[in-house]
Every structure is written in C-alpha cells, then in structure tokens.
Chains A and B, each alone.
Chain A
Amino acid sequence: GQQVMQIPQYQHVQEGEDFTTYCNSSTTLSNIQWYKQRPGGHPVFLIQLVKSGEVKKQKRLTFQFGEAKKNSSLHITATQTTDVGTYFCVTVGANDYKLSFGAGTTVTVRA
C-alpha cells in the first residue's frame, strides 16, 4: 500500500533563513495537500496540488508537486517566528484512492 515519508522530522531554523520540507510517496498520487498546525492548535489547510510539476506560491511559501506525482516539497524563504509549527502533507493515492498523512515536519525558529 501507499507509504508517505516526510523529511525532516524536525527543522531548527535561524530567523531569516530558508528551509524545505519534503513529502515522498512510494506510489503515484492523485493529489497532495499541505496543512500547518501551530503549537496547541489544529491543522489548517494551506494548499492543494493536483497537476504533475505544479508549482504554487503563497507569499514566502512555495509548494511543488513532482513530475512523477510521487513527491512534493514546501519551501519557506526568510523564515519568521510566525512560521513555527508542524507542516504535514496529506496524500491521496492515484490507484487505491486512500488518504495518507505524513508524520509532519516540526519547525522551530531561532530569533
């Protein structure tokens, strides 16, 4: 069955620096969504990617869906303290149409 790996598990970033978190699937995906969960909060939808090679931007966040639709990345530029939280990907398999969650990347920011 589909397995989703998200790396890294933890990311400690200096304020102002960039970082990237990756979501990799063992099988082809129908689509992928990214959510953010602030400490003590609930998951909040960020973006959905559907097309092969798709790139979407939200201010300092850039989301990319791989050409093979098996992986995705979230890149944050000029990290701010408001970026603190856990970012996780949610995937739907192209063949089994099953929902899978990445374990998340927990981001802390050093001021």
Chain B
Amino acid sequence: DSGVTQTPKHLITATGQRVTLRCSPRSGDLSVYWYQQSLDQGLQFLIQYYNGEERAKGNILERFSAQQFPDLHSELNLSSLELGDSALYFCASSPSSSITDTQYFGPGTRLTVL
C-alpha cells in the first residue's frame, strides 16, 4: 500500500459526459501527478501540482483540467468525454516539487466511456 488513495475505483459513463477523479496524496507529500495509461500508449504524464499550484504540464488535453486543494488532495476533471478517453488514470505523490523525487502511485481509477 503506497498511502495514495484514489476514488472511485471504476467509473462507467457515456460519451459527452463529464467526470471527476479524486486523489489523496501520502501524508506529508506536497506534489500530486496525474497520469493516463491506455493499452496502446503506455503511461502518459498529464500534469503536476505542487502545494496547490500547477507545476508542470504534460500531454493534457484542453478538455481535461485539474486542481489541488488546500488540504492537498487533487481532482482531475474530464469533460466532453470521448471513447478514446477510456483508460486507467493514476495519480502519484511525492514529497517536494522536484520531478526527480520518487513517486508513489495510487491504485488507479479505471474509466470506461461507452
């Protein structure tokens, strides 16, 4: 158990809809990272937040947004969902803002868009 929690575990929704994924980092960790893992593309870095502020951006679509709250939990919002958004979404946390820190991954949220 990494200490990172993600909810929900599974999510099934329809195209065009909007969903919110939630992540709570390990106690004491200030950075949260979001990743998308689909079968054909491996692990794709989406975005990093550190202590409430956006720190680094990866391949995040404009339809996706994230935020980190004062209690350090983070939410990833996915809107206008398409079939291709079906994937496993992981969040990870690390102690500092440095991207060289070890990252601790949560169990993931499996999103299915029908």
- Is A10 at the interface (CB under 8 A from chain B)? no
> In the complex, which residue of chain A has the Cβ closest to the Cβ of B58?
A99
| Per-residue interface assignment for chain A, residues 63 to 96, with 1 indicating a CB less than 8 Å from any chain B CB and 0 otherwise | 0000000000000000000000000101010000
Interface residue from B44, B56, B104, B107 paired with A101 (Cβ < 8 Å): B44
Within 8 A of A (CB), among B13-66: 42-45, 56, 58
The smallest C-beta distance from A27 to any residue of chain B, in angstroms, reads 15
Set of chain B residues within 8 Å of A43, measured between Cβ atoms: 43, 90, 92, 103, 105
Q: Once the chains are docked, how many angstroms separate the CA of A101 from the CA of B92?
A: 14
Counting contact residues on chain A (CB < 8 A from B), the size range is 10 to 19
CB neighbors of A among B81-112 (8 A): 90, 92, 99-100, 102-108
Shortest Cβ distance from B44 into A: residue: A101
Interface SS majority for chain A: strand
Q: Cβ of B80: which chain A residues have Cβ within 8 Å of it?
A: none
CA distance A101 to B90 in the complex (A): 14
- Does B77 reach chain A (CB closer than 8 Å)? no
Contact residues of A between 42 and 67, Cβ < 8 Å to B: 42-45, 48
CB distance B104 to A45 under 8 Å? yes
Name A42's closest neighbour in chain B (CB-CB).
B105
A34 to B90, CA, bound (A): 17
Q: Footprint of A on B, CB under 8 Å?
A: 2, 42-45, 56, 58, 90, 92, 99-100, 102-108
9 further contact pairs, Cβ within 8 A, besides A99-B56, A103-B42: A30-B100, A41-B107, A42-B108, A44-B105, A45-B103, A90-B103, A92-B100, A101-B45, A102-B42
